[in-house]
Structure 1
Amino acid sequence: MKLKSELFFDTLILVGVAFAIMTTPQAALSASAPATFAEVQSVVTQRCTVCHGAQMQHKNVRLDSPEEIVKHAQRIYQQAVVLKTMPKNNATQITDAERALIGRWFTAGAPRR
């Protein structure tokens, strides 16, 4: 049988954990949630199609359609998230949050939903 002090300590820990969960900002909780394709497409359109769109396709990569984004998902992940070499010289000012969003989408299987 546990002593009253041990029960108090166990209860205190449970209350602390519950409080921490309840006060965690929603942004922090969603930071690990998979990104939607619409979110990724928005980032790619804004940050990548300057050089990989209808007018110009550096290295024959075109990213201005959902099909092309999915087709090049691994390359986008590798260049923008892992190596951080794209956009070149960060010309379009992609943010770390946008890179993380692409990373979450790719690690979730790069779904087109």
Structure 2
Amino acid sequence: MNEVPQNAKINYKVMTGLSNVSQIKSNNDIKQFAEKLIDNLGIDRSNIPVSIKAIPDNGYCRLGKRNTRNKIYFDEYVLNSNDARSINYRIKTAFHESFHLSDNGLEWDGLIRKHN
């Protein structure tokens, strides 16, 4: 039986076209990596800008104003432009934030925050 395991198919889908770690040298490179990763994961980012900017955290996905009691929406994906960690950790953060972003539009049981 020469069937490709399911996890290999998923790995191929997610990793196809992503830059090698050695190719990522700038904030623009990490932004392009994050955008390609999000696209490869099948996440619709048409209404979710990917940003690289100075923030106190390593990265975040900002909850959107469209959240309801039943569904979660994000309106921004951000990685820290001043992140001094190695590129390996910055890539790990891109994956981590993409995991959060994968919940966009899904049902949830979170709390609704009042927006001013």
Q: TM-score, normalized by length of structure 1? A: 0.29
Q: Which has the larger radius of gyration?
A: 1
Q: Which structure is higher in helix share?
A: 1
Q: Which has the higher contact order (CA 8 A, sep 6+)?
A: 1
